Amino acid sequence: MERDPRVCVMGEDVGHYGGSYKVTKGLATKFGDLRVLDTPIAENSFTGMGIGAAMTGLRPVVEGMNMGFLLLAFNQISNNCGMLHYTSGGQFTIPIVIRGPGGVGRQLGAEHSQRLESYFQSVPGIQMVACSTPYNAKGLMKAALRSENPVILFEHVLLYNLKERIPDEDYICNLEEAEMVRPGEHVTILTYSRMRYHVMQAAKTLVNKGYDPEVIDIRSLKPFDLYTIGNSVKKTHRVLIVEECMRTGGIGASLTAAITENFHDYLDAPIICLSSQDVPTPYAGRLEEWTVVQPAQIVTAVEQLCQ
């Protein structure tokens, strides 16, 4: 916001309260109430306002207090945000960032445990990225702010407490590039967001059992970085996808289709996709855990793949 006066923030409680997860803490004091705008509880209205502001040359950041609330703005995001550049014949660009907390938290209930990446992946004209570390959260946010395309940045409610030393100098992360987390030889594990940590926990067990998994955080949910993914598939010949998204119509399903279409001849075993169960997320803690992929399931799946 210091670098570019066109950047502004809008959403519920983003101003003097600092956001529901304190992501915008201190910005209202520093940049004023117009550049950090507290809105009414009306996602369709302020998302539409943000898209209109982007059309006039601003670079708005629209926060959904919880990503599930952005379903109320689905029309604005799909019919306006994603398509106006095309339907205007290129007269308008929509340099907007839509971001907020999502995913399965700790007993937040079904309506506050939404994973909207599956909802938005079919909307033309939108890029989607998911951060998983403080380093890539900053790098992806900066890249999204500087992009001429509308970008949805998915943050996870359980990752806000992560700490990491990040560079003082300016840097950005490529919006269309996956991150190699752990090189390996035996199996490619593709994951993103919070599941990265479940995968890395499982990887320790797998190494102790003699396996050498390659772990890739895909980060770019749309489009997929098929260059990085493809090179890994050609090396390991086995693929495990681990996601928190729903199994039916999720990111894993689209990724499975893309790998099958492009790299089928390199596969020595069927792709396995571990996803959340197709049920509303229960409030009860133990039941909630059972709906989401756990590290032990990842270990079992790798053992099955490498038989």
Residues forming the active site: 43, 112
Tokens of 214: 């390659």
**What separation in angstroms does the CA of 131 have from each of 33, 73, 126, 139, 197?**
27, 22, 16, 9, 12
Please name the residues in contact with 231: beta carbons below 8 A apart, sequence gap of 6 or more. Answer: none
Best CA proximity match to 132, nearest among 198, 83, 187, 77:
198
Best CA proximity match to 305, nearest among 229, 231, 226, 212:
212
Identify whether the C-beta of residue 129 lies closer than 8 Å to the C-beta of residue 220.
yes
Burial of residue 41, with CB atoms counted within 10 A of its CB: 0-12 exposed, 13-18 middle, 19 or more buried: exposed
Tokens of 296: 């032990």
Q: Whole-angstrom Cα distance, residue 284 to residue 148?
A: 42
Question: For residue 135, what is the enclosing H or E element?
Answer: helix 134-146
| Rounded (5°) CA angle 160-165-167 | 115
Question: Omega of the bond prior to 150 within 30 degrees of 0, cis?
Answer: no
Please name the residues in contact with 150: beta carbons below 8 A apart, sequence gap of 6 or more. Answer: 51, 54, 77, 81, 82, 94, 95, 96, 97, 98, 125, 126, 127
Best CA proximity match to 295, nearest among 156, 159, 194, 183:
194
**What separation in angstroms does the CA of 295 have from each of 68, 93, 195, 241?**
26, 42, 9, 13
